[in-house]
Amino acid sequence: MEKIIVKDNAIPRYAEIETWIQRFAEFESKIVNKKEYIVENLPLHFNIHIMNCIKSYLKKEVDPIYHYLRLSTKELDTDVRIHTDGTMNAQFAAVLHFSDSPMISPEKSFGTAFWSHLQYGDKVEGYVLEKEQDRILEEDASQINLFTMDGFVACKKNRLLIYPANYFHSRYPFVSWGKTKKDGRIVWVCFFKIIGENNENDRQGRQ
C-alpha cells in the first residue's frame, strides 16, 4: 500500500464520537513530534473502533503507535509546516475529520495538501539520516518556496485519509477557521505500522 486512500462515511460510530468531543473533550497544548499542538485523547474504546475500521479497509492487521485529537483555529496552531511523519517510527498516518470545510471560494476549500520537496521529491526515503529529517522539519517546513503542491484532499466530516507517513503533507490553507472546538478544525490523527511488514524508516536512516 503506497497510495493515498480516502474513505467517506468511514466510521459507523462517528456521531457518537463527535458528541463525546463536543461534550467532554478538553484540548490542551502538548509537544508531539517536536512541535506544539492543541490536543486531546479519545477514550480507548473509540480508538479501538476507529482502528478496527482502518484494519477492515486495508485488509491488514495494524499496530497503532500514537493517536490523538488535534484542534486548530484562526488563532491556535497557525504555523506553516510542510512535513513528513517519518520520524514517528510509523509506516502510515491516518486523519479522520470531525469538521466540514468552510468554502474559501467556489473552487477552494480547506483540507490536506501533498507536496514535493525540491531535493527529496514527494517523500523522505528511509536512507535519509534522522538528523537530516530533523533539519527538514526545523528549517524547510516553513519555506513554501522549497515545495510544489502535488495533490489536495478537502476535509469533510467522517472522511478518513490514509497515506504513507513519509509523504510530505500539510494542512492547507495553513491557518484554520473558528475560535474553539465548537467551530474550529478537529481531526483524529494516528500513526501506525502494518503488522508483518518492514518499515523502511526502521531499516535505514536511524543512524
Whether the CA torsion 180, 183, 185, 186 is positive or negative: it is: positive
Report pLDDT for 87. Answer: 84
Report pLDDT for 10. Answer: 98
Where does the pLDDT of residue 201 fall: very low under 50, low under 70, confident under 90, or very high at 90 and above? low
Where does the pLDDT of residue 203 fall: very low under 50, low under 70, confident under 90, or very high at 90 and above? very low
Report pLDDT for 2. Answer: 64
Asked if residue 181 lies in contact with residue 22, where contact means CB atoms within 8 angstroms, the answer is yes
Report pLDDT for 200. Answer: 56
Is residue 155 left, alpha or beta, with left meaning phi > 0 and alpha meaning psi from -120 to 50? beta
Helix (H/G/I), strand (E/B), else coil: 138: helix
CA-wise closest residue to 174 among 72, 93, 33 = 72
pLDDT digits (tens, 9 = 90+) for 73-106: 999 999 999 999 988 889 999 999 999 988 776 6
Report pLDDT for 206. Answer: 42
pTM score above 0.85 = yes
Report pLDDT for 52. Answer: 98
pLDDT digits (tens, 9 = 90+) for 131-171: 998 899 999 999 999 999 999 999 999 999 999 999 999 99
Query: Above 80 in pLDDT, residue 204?
Result: no
pLDDT digits (tens, 9 = 90+) for 4-16: 999 999 999 999 9
Q: Cβ of 84: how many Cβ atoms within 10 Å?
A: 25
DSSP secondary structure code for residue 146 in this structure: G
pLDDT digits (tens, 9 = 90+) for 12-42: 999 999 999 999 999 999 987 678 899 999 9
